[in-house]
Structure 1
Amino acid sequence: MRRRALLLPAAVYLGVRALGVAVLTVFAALHDTSLLAGISAWDGQWYLRIAEHGYELGPTTDALGHPNPFTPRAFFPAYPFLVRLVSAAVGTTAAAVLVSLAAGLCTAYGLARLGRLVRGGSRRAGYILVALFAATPMSVVLTMAYTEALFCALAVWTLVALLERRWELAGVCCAFAGLVRSSALALVVAVAVVAVIALARREGGGRPLVALALAPAGLFGYLWWTGMRVRPDSGFEAQLATWSDLEWQGWRTRFDGGASTARFVFDALTSADSAMSVLTVAVIAGALIGMALLARRETALVVYAAGILVMALGSSALMHAKPRLLLPAFTLLVPVAIALAKRRTNTVLWVCAGVALASAWFGAFALTVWKYAI
């Protein structure tokens, strides 16, 4: 029984992701491309180049075709750094996949633990949570040269640490998450809110202050460092804003309060000319429903999910990338996992299998049929 409990999160995660890779392989063959091209597509190319050469890539053009040698600094350093370390033993692309795979497994064990810790949770709910996460829309990126798997691993263990009041671990994990992607801002806010509440209630002595101090270090440290490299003569505030400026210059991405997303949803519902647009709207709607279901659960989970939603839906980023940007909001799956855990085993298996198949198709479609970035 103990060995089964130890291995089951990995088995569930790997089983669902193996299905996704198998379907992607079939789609790649049908559309005259390759599995390798799929797993290293789009942003993956940037991460692989940074892993091989660092940020000094020489003459570089951004996504809009504009020459800008600083564009690579829009990509956070932790993932390509790990890929570079592993690539000493294997090729760069293989190293990227291995890092994502290891991070995904780490996420699986964190989710299994999270499913036991939350109110109404159980070991069974934890396993279901792992399956649902591995089968979320665009979970194909968990086996690509992308940062989602690494970020989710650090995020889930930050949340576990907050629920267990392990303040030092929460701060350290959150700090490292800030070196992976900008979504860490949602995690920083979650740590800050929970820590401030604990301090107000006089819980944990001064240990919540450790989490408060460590949590933002990675994110704001990288933003400041980027500003120092790009604008060494600017003031502190301008340097912190440099990363956002690179995002806007290179990808026309900035926070607009959700105006771009609202226009996209309206257009997709009234005049959509592609299945991808309709599917993206469905994912957005599902995330909003999930947020409503999560609203009365633990503060850390709610604040984190709300932060991810605000950042993903409030951004003018590529609309069809929303399913990927929403993937780190895995706490939205907690109420579903707890509800399913109360059902019969056959029901759970059928639901999880159906979701896994739908996710496998969605990811393969997005990488082989859809011709634009995700």
Structure 2
Amino acid sequence: MPTQEAVPVDPDDALGARGRTALAGRHPVVVALAPAVLYLVVRELGLLALQLMAARWDKDVTRALTSWDGQWFLGIAEGGYADVPRGLVDAFGRRTAETPLAFFPGYPTLVRWVAGLPGVPTIGAAFAVSLVSGVLCAYALARLGSRVAGGSRRAGLVLVVLFAASPMAVALSMTYSEATFCALAAWSLVGVVERRWVLAGVCCAAAGLVRPTAAALVLAVCAAAAVAVWRRPGDRRAWVGGLVAPLGLLGYLAYVAVRTGRWDGWFAVQRHGWDSRFDGGAATWRFALSILGDPRSVLELTTVWLLVAALALVVLCVRRGLEWPLVVYGVGVLLMDLGSNGLMNSKARLLLPAFTLLVPVALALARRRTGTAVAVLAGISVFGAWFGAYAITAWPYAI
């Protein structure tokens, strides 16, 4: 039989398209930029949806992104607590000298520092702080997803997408403090998982100056540091991390206590200005039953189901054996959200920092075929982009 002459094969061609793609994915530049690129692409999708929705409802995009609490943060950044614009009032249309103290100082302070640069307006500085904070959070989440038990670089990147595509991730692009808090919380938890206690404590302390949600982070970090000290009493770094962690939150609460002349000053400001207090979840339960029985709006009904989904994710975290400090933090954020009688329309946004509850989902998707994972993440991203845009354009009330 005639023999076929062997044809030389180019080694590059022998790799095939899949091999070349795999090599490109391992390129140092790709590895370094992947978390930032994925985060920014998903958030850009959200902003595109916002532009379309804003045009539909004849609203200005910049005004939508600086609404409600965003105006308070901008006012504090420009004039400090003593010189916030008089037009800003609490939920009852009132205003006292203590009302601005309801908003923690970390985010507006960063905005003021950036706005101090030549030619940088306050609004531009606020957007810049949120943007950079979101990117820093993406790198922390990518690292967290690769460090947990059963984690991988791919799981970390999936976690970044899930976070950026969360139903109320639009707040990460607003002049709100969520992006800054989440960045600090994520890096603090990276420190816990990697037993880098000084990093965990310092980031936790800084987070305590940004949002009251830091109470859940303080609990997780201090408990983990205490266990580390119990196992190794001579671990000085664990001692330092555990002692530093609560300083930011306690420091600001003490400051407000001095300003108001009462030990529960910050909580009093919340009660008097926004009727916000911890009621063990009674108001949330009534809200959920009311909405499920008579769904008045897309936002409220979706909010209830998001809360149910969060509870289901807690079960997944426990069954998956997720590192207990991450579970403690996620459950703490969820309990603070469920247990407050505050504005029900904000509950979906207040779930945003509970990103550790997404870890089991990220681990599961990372084990699926690439096509399946991409399809699921694309669907979640589109839904999150629509819901966030709806929440700050079509929905007429504060979120």
TM-score under structure 2 normalisation? Answer: 0.90
Q: Is 1:344 aligned to 2:369, yes or no?
A: yes
- Are 1:85 and 2:85 matched, yes or no? no
* SS of corresponding position for 2:128: helix
* 1:294 aligns to 2:294 (yes or no): no
Match for 1:110: what amino acid? A
* Cα pair distance change 1:204/1:168, threshold 3 Å: farther
Question: 1:344-363, aligned counterparts within 5 Å?
Answer: 344-363=369-388
Deviates more, 1:331-340 or 1:271-280: 271-280
Instruction: Answer yes or no: is the 8 Å Cα contact 1:61–1:69 preserved in 2.
Output: no
Aligned to 2:94: 66
1:243 and 2:273 correspond: no
- 1:5 maps onto 2:35 in alignment: no
Secondary structure of 2:392's aligned partner: helix
Structure 1 partner of 2:154: 124
Report SS of the residue matched to 2:187: helix
Amino acid at match of 2:392: L
4+ long deviations beyond 6 Å: none
CA distance in structure 2 between the partners assigned to 1:32 and 1:91 by the alignment: 25
Please name the residue that 1:234 is paired with.
none
Q: Using the alignment, how far apart are the partners of 1:3 and 1:207 within structure 2?
A: 33
Match of 1:331 in 2: 356
Q: Which residue, out of 239, 248, 264, partners 2:287?
A: 264
Name the CA distance, whole Å, in 2 between partners of 1:148 and 1:85. Answer: 18
Which AA in structure 2 matches 1:221?
A: G
Aligned: 1:278 with 2:301: yes
Query: Does residue 1:169 correspond to 2:199, yes or no?
Result: yes
Summarize the alignment of residues 40-79 of structure 1 with structure 2, pairs less than 5 Å apart.
Answer: 40-57=66-83, 61-79=89-107
Instruction: Please state if 1:321 is matched with 2:351.
Output: no
In structure 2, how many angstroms separate the alpha carbons of the residues matched to 1:281 and 1:350?
A: 25
User: SS at 1:56's partner residue?
Assistant: helix
Equivalent pair of 1:261/1:319 in contact (CA under 8 Å): yes
Residue identity matched to 1:329: A
**Partners of 1:242 and 1:66 in 2: how far apart?**
17
What is the distance in 2 between the residues matched to 1:275 and 1:204?
54
Match of 1:125, SS state, is: helix
Within 5 A, what are the aligned runs for 1:130-145? 130-145=160-175
1:305 to 330, 352, 359: 330
State whether structure 2 residue 189 is matched by structure 1 residue 159.
Answer: yes
Q: 2:251 aligns with which of 205, 212, 221?
A: 221
Q: How far apart are residue 206 of structure 1 and its match?
A: 2.7
Structure 1 residue 21 and structure 2 residue 47: aligned? Answer: yes
Deviation at 1:249, TM superposition (A): 0.8
Aligned equivalents of 1:136, 1:262: Cα separation in 2: 23
Partner-residue secondary structure (3-state), 1:182: coil
CA distance in 2, matches of 1:31, 1:80: 30
**Larger gyration radius, structure 1 or structure 2:** 2
| Gap runs ≥5 in structure 2 | 1-26
Q: CA deviation at 1:67?
A: 2.8
What is the CA distance between 1:88 and its match in structure 2?
2.4
Q: 1:160 to 1:204 in 2, by over 3 A?
A: farther
Query: 1:239-294 CA deviation, whole Å, 9 max, x = no partner?
Result: 2x110110111111110000010000000111121111111011101111111111
Deviations 1:84-108 (A, max 9, x none): 1111231111111110000000000
User: CA deviation digits over 1:6-28, x for unaligned, max 9?
Assistant: 00000000000000001101111
Aligned pairs (5 A) from 1:136-215: 136-202=166-232, 205-215=235-245
String of CA shifts for 1:105-142, please: whole Å, max 9, x gaps: 00000000001000010000000000000001100000
How far the C-alpha of 1:198 sits from its partner, in A, is 1.1
> Which amino acid counterpart does residue 262 of structure 1 have in structure 2?
W
Corresponding residue SS for 2:81: coil
Q: Pick one of 17, 29, 32 that aligns with 2:58.
A: 32
Equivalent residues of 1:111, 1:129 under 8 A apart: yes
2:190 and 2:233 map into 1 onto residues whose CA distance is: 17
- What's the C-alpha RMSD, in Å, of the aligned pairs? 1.1
Distance 1:117 1:67 in 2: 47
Give the aligned partner of residue 235 of structure 1: none
User: 1:203: Cα distance to partner?
Assistant: 6.5
Cα contact 1:57–1:69 (8 A) shared by 2: no
For residues 206 and 23 of structure 1, the distance between their equivalents in structure 2, rounded to whole angstroms, comes to 49
Q: Percent identity?
A: 51
Paired letter, 1:142: L
Give the distance between the partners of 2:95 and 2:170, measured in 1 at CA.
31
AA in 1 matched with 2:364: A
* Matched residue type, 1:68: T
Residue 140 (structure 2) pairs with residue 115 (structure 1): no
5+ residue gaps, structure 1, are 232-237
Cα 1:32/1:216, change in 2 over 3 Å: same
**Partner Cα separation in structure 1 for residue 178 and residue 108 of structure 2:** 13
* Contact 1:138–1:359 (Cα < 8 Å) also in 2: yes
Equivalenced residue count is 367
Q: Which amino acid aligns with 2:146?
A: R
SS in 2 for 1:179: coil
Q: Which residue of 1 aligns with 2:19?
A: none
